């Protein structure tokens, strides 16, 4: 069984751990470099990207995380997608640059603009997407594959071993996103 | 009730705040310091609880101009406090775009019998509670997050510990009861049976459970989180301490590494003096904030 580390600095890491276990993986919480080294893949959960970034800096985890991403798959949801991006705006913020996407923070607005939407998965049925103060992917590089869109913007995308969603499948009952990530390991 | 789309979005934001620190701020500059240190949200209010305690008078929702400044300055969620039962303060805060409203005992109550009917709002609410019955009554009214009350502005962790221990113990108790006993327990708790049954089946609240009121040090943060709180609110503890920047950073670190003594020790280095603090047992009943609301 594959071991998926959930970056547990802040955010909804517990919900991701449950979703991974349900999808057939083994989940462990990751707060240190040693814990990271035990994982086949890593999930950067939802939460506040600026908080996670600070903690990554305080603990000198930015370089180890980037190095991890150069060898193994990382899946980022919402705040995690912001961390994986090449460029972050609104406001500008440091990021890992592991995926060739540009992301605008809080793209839809404030909490009052949070929403649940049905995504069309191109012949693969629909997916309930929970957007919470979600970012918007404003640009995707040439070899980024867009798996779902909402209002014309990519909301689920992958590039090589890495994957992002701007919504929160860990807050829905549908395990397809987490299963897809497990298949990448 | 708690499975509607709208309620899931409200609880969803609370989920995103887990493992973090929500800091009280009274102006944009403090909000900037909080965000820089790694706060997962800020709570805008006119005066921090220890000043409300000292200065007296009526404590109301924050000044709108200052709130707008704060919202412009930081990219993290901005919460705001409304008086207990003051549903028009809440409507104004919702209109302004607050991300969460705290119907809070820290402000002077506007209604001594009724809390706000929180289900009718699009913005999520957090409410204080001292025990399970109080928590479930607030959830029944529509609160999407509970925080234990503690004693705000005291810098003393004793009440926060009492309240989180009480709620956790009461929840554990429900998990061993039979169906007919739950009906009786719902009556004792003064809470809807549906919610009592949910807690009995799941051993936790149907919404995230955070801690507040008297948290002043990284060790305090780790203590309430080890006792079961999923995140913390720090009020006077930061900006009434000697070095707010260092303390803010330290409590953020403590919320992540609450089970790791080595990291907690690191968080405690070079902190400066904490806020002074009060012996809650010497406070006259009328000065307690936790007894506001029911």
- Mean predicted lDDT score pLDDT of chain B: 95
Encode pLDDT of A32-72 as tens digits: 999 999 999 999 999 999 999 999 999 999 999 999 999 99
Q: H/E element holding B30?
A: helix B28-37
In terms of C-beta density within 10 A (0-12 exposed, 13-18 middle, 19 or more buried), how is residue A75 classed? buried
Question: Contacts of residue A13 in chain B, CB cutoff 8 Å?
Answer: 18-19
Q: How many CB pairs under 8 A join A and B?
A: 107
Q: What is the ipTM of this complex?
A: 0.96
pLDDT at A91: 95
Encode pLDDT of B146-205 as tens digits: 999 999 999 999 999 999 999 999 999 999 999 999 999 999 999 999 999 999 999 999
Catalytic residue among A16, A158, A170, A178: A170
Torsion sign over Cα A158, A133, A80, B73: positive
Question: Does residue B75 sit in helix, strand or coil?
Answer: coil
Q: Is A39 a catalytic residue?
A: no
- Mean predicted lDDT score pLDDT of chain A: 97
Using only C-alpha atoms, chain A has a radius of gyration, in whole angstroms, of 15
> Cα–Cα distance between A107 and B289 in angstroms, integer?
38
> Cα–Cα distance between B148 and B126 in angstroms, integer?
10
Encode pLDDT of B91-136 as tens digits: 999 999 999 999 999 999 999 999 999 999 999 999 999 999 999 9
A interface residues, B as partner, C-beta within 8 Å: 8-15, 31, 46-48, 50-51, 54-55, 58, 78-79, 90-91, 105-106, 109-112, 114-116, 130, 132-133, 168, 171
Question: Does residue B25 sit in helix, strand or coil?
Answer: strand
Checking if the pLDDT of B1 tops 60, the result is no
Q: What is the pTM of this model?
A: 0.96
Q: Do A130 and B256 lie within an 8 Å CB cutoff?
A: no
Name the residue among B19, B99, B260 with its Cβ closest to that of A10: B19
Which residue has 């913005």 as its token pair? Answer: B123
A3-183: which CATH topology?
A: Rossmann fold (3.40.50)
> Cα–Cα distance between A13 and B19 in angstroms, integer?
9
> Cα–Cα distance between B95 and B60 in angstroms, integer?
17
Checking if the pLDDT of B62 tops 50, the result is yes
Chain B residue with CA closest to A169: the answer is: B12
pLDDT at B27: 97
Give the DSSP letter of residue A56: H
pLDDT at B276: 84
The predicted model gives A142-155 an average pLDDT of: 97
Question: Contacts of residue A78 in chain B, CB cutoff 8 Å?
Answer: 16
Encode pLDDT of B238-281 as tens digits: 999 999 999 999 999 999 999 999 999 999 998 988 888 888 88
- Listed range (B1-10, B65-74, B273-282) with the worst mean pLDDT: B1-10
The predicted model gives A119-123 an average pLDDT of: 90
Annotated domain spans of chain A? 3-183
Asked if B104 and B150 touch (Cβ cutoff 8 Å), the reply is no
Q: Do B18 and A14 lie within an 8 Å CB cutoff?
A: yes
The DSSP line for B206-267 is SS-EEE-SS--SHHHHHHHHHTT-SSEEE-HHHHTSS-HHHHHHHHHHHHHSTT-HHHHHHH
């Amino acid at each position: 069984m594959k071991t998926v580390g959930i970056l547990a600095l802040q955010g909804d890491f517990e919900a991701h751990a449950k979703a991974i276990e349900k999808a057939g993986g083994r989940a462990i919480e990751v707060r240190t470099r040693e814990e990271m080294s035990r994982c086949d893949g890593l999930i950067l959960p939802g939460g506040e990207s600026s908080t996670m970034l600070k903690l990554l800096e305080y603990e000198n985890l930015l370089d180890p995380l980037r190095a991890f991403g150069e060898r193994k798959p990382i899946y980022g949801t919402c705040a995690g997608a912001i961390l994986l991006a090449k460029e972050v705006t609104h406001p500008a913020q440091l990021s890992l640059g592991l995926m060739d996407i540009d992301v605008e923070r809080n793209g839809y607005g404030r909490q009052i603009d949070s929403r649940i939407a049905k995504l069309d998965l191109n012949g693969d049925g629909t997916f309930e997407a929970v957007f919470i103060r979600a970012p918007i992917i404003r640009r995707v590089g040439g070899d980024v594959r867009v798996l779902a869109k909402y209002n014309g913007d990519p909301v689920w995308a992958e590039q090589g071993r890495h994957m992002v969603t701007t919504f929160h499948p860990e807050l829905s009952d549908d395990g397809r996103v987490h299963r897809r990530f497990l298949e990448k390991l | 009730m708690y499975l509607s789309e709208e309620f899931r979005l409200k609880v969803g934001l609370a989920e995103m705040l887990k493992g973090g620190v929500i800091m009280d701020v009274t102006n944009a500059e403090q909000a900037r310091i909080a965000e820089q240190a790694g706060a997962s949200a800020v709570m805008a209010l006119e005066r921090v609880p220890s000043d409300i305690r000292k200065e007296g008078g009526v404590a109301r929702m924050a000044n709108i101009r200052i709130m707008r400044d704060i919202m412009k300055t930081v990219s993290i969620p901005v919460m705001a406090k409304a008086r207990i039962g003051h549903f028009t303060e809440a409507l104004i805060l919702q209109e302004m775009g607050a991300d969460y409203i705290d119907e809070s005992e820290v402000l002077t109550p506007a209604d001594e019998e009724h809390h706000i009917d929180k289900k009718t709002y699009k913005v999520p609410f957090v409410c204080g509670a001292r025990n399970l019955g109080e928590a479930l009554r607030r959830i029944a009214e529509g609160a999407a997050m509970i925080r234990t009350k503690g004693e705000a502005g005291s810098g003393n962790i004793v009440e926060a510990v009492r309240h989180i221990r009480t709620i956790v113990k009461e929840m554990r108790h429900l998990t061993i009861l039979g169906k007919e006993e739950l009906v009786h327990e719902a009556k004792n708790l003064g809470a809807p049976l549906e919610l009592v049954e949910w807690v009995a089946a799941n051993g936790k609240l149907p919404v995230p459970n955070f801690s507040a009121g008297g948290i002043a040090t990284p060790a305090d943060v780790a203590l309430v989180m080890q006792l079961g709180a999923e995140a913390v609110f720090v009020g006077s503890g930061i900006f009434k301490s000697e070095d707010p920047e260092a303390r803010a950073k330290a409590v953020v670190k403590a919320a992540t590494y609450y089970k790791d003594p080595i990291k907690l020790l690191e968080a405690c280095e070079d902190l400066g003096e904490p806020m002074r603090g009060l012996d809650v047992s010497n406070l006259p009943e009328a000065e307690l904030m936790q007894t506001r609301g029911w």
